[in-house]
Chains A and B, each alone.
Chain A
Amino acid sequence: MQEIEFSEFVGLISLLVILLPLFSFLLILAGRKGSGANLALINISISFILSVYLFFFIWNKQPIHYQIPWFLIGDIEFKAGVLLNNLSVLMITLVSGISVLVHIYSRTYMKDDLNIHRYWAYLGLFCFSMLGLVVSDNLLLIYLFWELVGFSSFLLIGFWYTRPIASQAAKKAFIMNRIGDIGFLIGIIIIFSQFRTLDITALFGDMGLVKASLVDKGLWISASRQMPEVWFSIAGLAFFIGAMAKSAQFPLHTWLPDAMEGPTSVSSLIHAATMVAAGVFLIARVYPVFDPFVLNTMVCIGAFTAFMAATIAISQNDIKRILAYSTISQLGLMVMAMGIGAYSESIFHLATHAFFKCLLFLAAGSVIHQLHHYRDEHSLDFNCQDIRLMGGLKKGMPITFIGMCLASAALIGLPLSSGYLSKDAILITAFEWAGSRDGIYTMIPYIMVITSWLTVFYISRLVFKVFFSTPKLMSMEQANQIQDAPKQMSYVLLILAFFCLFFAFAFNPFSFDSSWLWNGFSSNLFQKVNFYHWLIPLILNIGTAVLIFTAYRIYVKNDGMSISEKNIFHRFFRQEWYLHELYNYLFTVPVEKFSNVCYWFDRNIIDALVLKSVTLISILSAISHWCDRILVDGFVNALGTCAKWIGHFSRNFQTGKLQHYLISMLLVVLSFFILTYFI
């Protein structure tokens, strides 16, 4: 009895966590233009406090599953509810925490925007849907929130919708995400037709239906029904496609770099820390549905995405685009980790990545913000996001510099940082996994090592170019005038910087085994190979040190590297592997051609038919017009003329002359006489 009340209580609290941002969305939209900052901040803060409270209630304790009946289809009852286990409480704390920080940051960053109330409202909608997504206990509910997340992301990318690039980017993100949504929906449909339920605990729990179902002689058999084995793989692939679109995995990743057209704070919250992690979260939620084939696909796609994005990030010059590709690369790492079965490592990296990538974006946002002010004050004209033009900002912006350095250290995985724990955990597990495989799969960990070295290079390139190198547009003294961003923004950077260090996640800075977060999820299926645990970090860090030094030599001492524009690799990476062009060629151009054909068909066939029938009808109407005019009217006119003629004729008798009347009388009498006697 007491337990039921307790779970009801917790359920209500989590409902409050979800609904508070929704209230701010509704109230701000109903409210005055240009306001809403305080309301949004208060609501999300309460949400955050409540979710921390929930976190301490649930973490490593009995999961709580509270649900109420939702609706009936036939005799199948759908229930809606919240499922709070380690994964979801971690996610709500993460999401609401980072949201609070981004809210505080945006108060200054977005201060002068005219439509700021829309910004707060959309942010509320996003927080509502993201929090709802992570606590829902039912695939259908998750799908609803999944769509809402995509929609609010669309709204926020297109926040400056008057800029055509931004609205194009928003549309692109939305369409790409729709492709993933279709995958997700197909997955839900297959699961539903096999198991007749969408409840996550019932399906994917420890003793759940998916684990209880078995594949035998080409059939996938559950308790009540069976279908061909291939559907099991298709269901897994379908869910994976959903995750691919949200988490920007190759080949559905092209929306994320374009999404950087939104405000930087939005990029930081949605397109770096939380929403893009939703794909990884979904994989974690439905993990049992993936069979070995799908898991191997996941490994390949994740590893390829990570590598590809890292190579692109090296050659980009836009600060936000570099970070966007870095995000894609890190998400590829997480997806690959999911594929090899490193479930807890992947979630661990998701959490650490959320903090350091958020910090990277917010620091980049500060740089952009301050450069913008500098530009407006001195009425100059240059691109505030181009790292080639930046330089020497270290002295003037110490807080941003420290934040950027710590976040980069975490991204690189330098010792004592949070990234060291999570990233090396993934790499070590990858090596352990590859030990039990053969063929191409043994290559995967080496690709990841190369990727992580590429990561080192591009992020040190960014840091050195922005903070160390000699400024291109102004003198060193002028560069020093550019100060740190206002206090509110800088404090947020410091708070996030704290979470990039190891002690937020573990006591021992050199072993992820001791991390509380990693221990919260148990998945280690592999034989632990001890010498990997010191050898891999060692090799990685030696390589890292060499690369940082090289980057220092190139970008600080020598002021950049001169690569000819003709270099084929440079061009290939610079153009983002020509994927935009490829998609354009593969999809956009055929669609345009097809629509041109349709247009032609419409114009020349359908319209021609219509015109022909118009002609036919006009001929018919001419005929009937003639009939009407000549036959019908003619008959009526003839009658009229006849009557007129008779009238004229008989009028002639009424001359008013006496003798005429007499003649008429005589004639009448005579005719009677003749008629009577002679005929």
Chain B
Amino acid sequence: MIPLSHFLIISACLFCIGLYAVLIKKNAIQILIGIEFMINAAVLNFVAFGKFDKLNGGGQLFALFAIVLAAAGVAVALAIILNVYKHFKTIDPSKINKLKN
């Protein structure tokens, strides 16, 4: 059987990759991909800890909720990105700085 710590290490790696993408990438879509990575790291944790709640299956349940919500969130985010692109002709977040001045 695969021990819990392997799941946690994988998930931490996924989270860090996601975080790296969010902080570094100049493309809003790549940032969105990074966010998906981080969500999936969390979902992986839910499922991994779900073996301690076999009776109710709360882990799996929350994982399903999270996947659904993430899908909805990605849809909204993509819509925003499309609109942003229409408006600014770019999707680099560091160049979208109208609020600054």
Contact = CB atoms under 8 A, between A and B. Distances in A.
Interface of A: 656-659, 662-663, 666
Contacts, number: 18
18 contacts: A656-B97, A656-B99, A656-B100, A657-B93, A657-B94, A657-B97, A658-B93, A658-B94, A659-B22, A659-B23, A659-B24, A659-B93, A659-B94, A662-B22, A662-B23, A663-B23, A666-B19, A666-B23
Contacts of A666: 19, 23
Contacts of B19: 666
A599 B23 CA distance: 91
Contacts of B99: 656
A666 B23 CA distance: 10
Which secondary structure dominates chain A's binding surface? helix
B34 to A, nearest CB: 11
Contacts of B97: 656-657
Given A657-B93, A659-B23, A659-B24, 15 more contacts: A656-B97, A656-B99, A656-B100, A657-B94, A657-B97, A658-B93, A658-B94, A659-B22, A659-B93, A659-B94, A662-B22, A662-B23, A663-B23, A666-B19, A666-B23
Interface in B78-101: 93-94, 97, 99-100
Contacts of A658: 93-94
Interface in B43-96: 93-94
A375 B68 CA distance: 142
B27 to A, nearest CB: 12
4 pairs of A and B residues whose beta carbons are closest in the complex: A656-B100, A658-B93, A657-B94, A656-B97
Contacts of B93: 657-659
Contacts of A662: 22-23
Contacts of A657: 93-94, 97
Interface in B2-52: 19, 22-24
Nearest to B97: A656
A656 B99 CA distance: 8
In this complex, which of B19, B94, B99 has the most chain A Cβ atoms within 10 angstroms of its Cβ?
A: B94
A278 B23 CA distance: 123
A594 B93 CA distance: 99
B19 to A, nearest CB: 7
A662 B35 CA distance: 13
A87 to B, nearest CB: 115
Nearest to A656: B100
A391 B90 CA distance: 134
Nearest to B22: A662
Nearest to A654: B100
Nearest to B96: A658
Nearest to A658: B93
Contacts of A656: 97, 99-100
A137 to B, nearest CB: 107
B26 to A, nearest CB: 9
A659 B35 CA distance: 13
A656 B24 CA distance: 16
A638 B98 CA distance: 36
A656 B93 CA distance: 10
B77 to A, nearest CB: 13
A666 B19 CA distance: 10
A657 to B, nearest CB: 5
A658 B34 CA distance: 15
A331 to B, nearest CB: 111
A350 B19 CA distance: 136
A355 B93 CA distance: 130
B88 to A, nearest CB: 13
A666 B93 CA distance: 18
A48 B15 CA distance: 137
A663 B94 CA distance: 13
Nearest to A662: B23
A659 B24 CA distance: 8
A666 B18 CA distance: 13
Contacts of B94: 657-659
Nearest to B19: A666
Contacts of B22: 659, 662
A659 B94 CA distance: 8
